Amino acid sequence: MVDLSVAGIATGETRKPNLKSLWSGLAPWALPLVLLVVWEIAARTGLVTARLMPAPTTIAAAFWRSLLDGSLLFHTLASTRRAFIGLAIGGGLGFVAGVLTGLWKPAETLFDSTVQMVRNIPHLALIPLVILWFGIDETAKIFLVSIGVFFPIYINTFYGVRTIDPQIVEMASVYGLDRKALIRRIILPGALPSILVGLRYALGFMWLTLIVAETISSTNGIGYMTMNAREFLQTDVVLLGIIVYALLGKLADVVTRAIEKRVLVWHPAYRIKQGGEP
């Protein structure tokens, strides 16, 4: 409501701020648009080889084609399914481990230094090993995604639990909260901002891992789609796959931001700015 009234005052006074806000809304899109146009022209005039770098309109056509024959949806769903199973397993374990080590000193002593050591191994370096262990089926890919998302969730959950204001914890114990209530009402909500940061990192790792895992061995998924297209020199489909990955990543980020905005309403930093000074 405040937003509306502020905007109302602004339009009543002068038209200038309106144009300004229109400009600031469009400005970020200017550069990509110009690039697209230049790209299109370059591809059409043969300045770049269309076979290596097809024009945007060709990619759009490939998008339309794969949308109509259902293959795009099929591969996207296959990838998304893997991504979320991996996220559920790795993220769930990371969350539980983070809470446990954050709350309980012996668990930290036992667990944390090992985790910090293993964390520094690039998990994609495990691919040869994972193929030996699980073969090239579904388990291998889900395993890799799980490992990829485990660490960011674990580290940020641990950090969030650890950095809760000890004064509030002391207050809670003076006011008679038992351990269960303390964890449920004080520690977990207090660690939530940090956990959500971990989730956003994890989502990035999730798609990254999946791209690599699917290009190695798959019969479906966006990674398979692009590798298959490469075999037949369908550069437009390869680029389409890359764009789909980018969009999926962006979508995941938008969703987490929305979640943040919703569950962190209490946090001054996340409160929607109410009008403010122009």
Partner 1 sequence: MSAVAAEVAGNDGGLSISLSRVVKSFGKLNVLGSFNLEIPAGQFLAVVGRSGGGKSTLLRLIAGLETATGGRVSIGGRDVDRTLPSVRLLFQEARLVPWQRVIENVGIARGPNWQETARRTLADVGLEGREDDWPSVLSGGQRQRVALARALVSAPQILLLDEPFGALDALTRIEMHRLLERIWTGRGFTTVLITHDVAEAVALADRVVVLREGAIALDIDVDLERPRRELADPRAVDLQRRILEAV
Binding positions for partner 1, rule: CB under 8 A: 167-168, 170-177, 181, 185-186, 189-190, 192, 265-268, 271
For partner 1, give the closer residue by CB, 128 or 268: 268
Separation of alpha carbons 74 and 31, rounded Å: 33
For partner 1, give the closer residue by CB, 99 or 213: 99
For partner 1, give the closer residue by CB, 51 or 271: 271
Judge contact between 97 and 198, C-beta under 8 A: no
Kindly report the number of other CB atoms within 10 A of residue 162's CB atom: 15
Amino acid making up residue 76? T
Judge contact between 97 and 114, C-beta under 8 A: no
For partner 1, give the closer residue by CB, 29 or 266: 266
> How far from 180 is each of 61, 147, 173, 184, CA to CA, in Å?
57, 29, 12, 6
For partner 1, give the closer residue by CB, 126 or 169: 169
Distance of closest approach, residue 63 Cβ to partner 1, in angstroms: 43
Tell me the helices (H) and strands (E) count for the chain, helix number first: 12, 0
Distance of closest approach, residue 11 Cβ to partner 1, in angstroms: 29
Q: Which residue has the tokens 């144009």?
A: 19
Distance of closest approach, residue 8 Cβ to partner 1, in angstroms: 24
Q: 3-state DSSP call for residue 50?
A: coil
Distance of closest approach, residue 101 Cβ to partner 1, in angstroms: 22
Amino acid making up residue 156? N
Distance of closest approach, residue 174 Cβ to partner 1, in angstroms: 5
Distance of closest approach, residue 159 Cβ to partner 1, in angstroms: 17
DSSP code for 51: T
For partner 1, give the closer residue by CB, 7 or 177: 177
Judge contact between 138 and 216, C-beta under 8 A: no
Closest CA to 206 of 160, 245, 159, 263: 245
Distance of closest approach, residue 16 Cβ to partner 1, in angstroms: 33
For partner 1, give the closer residue by CB, 114 or 167: 167
Q: 3-state DSSP call for residue 70?
A: coil
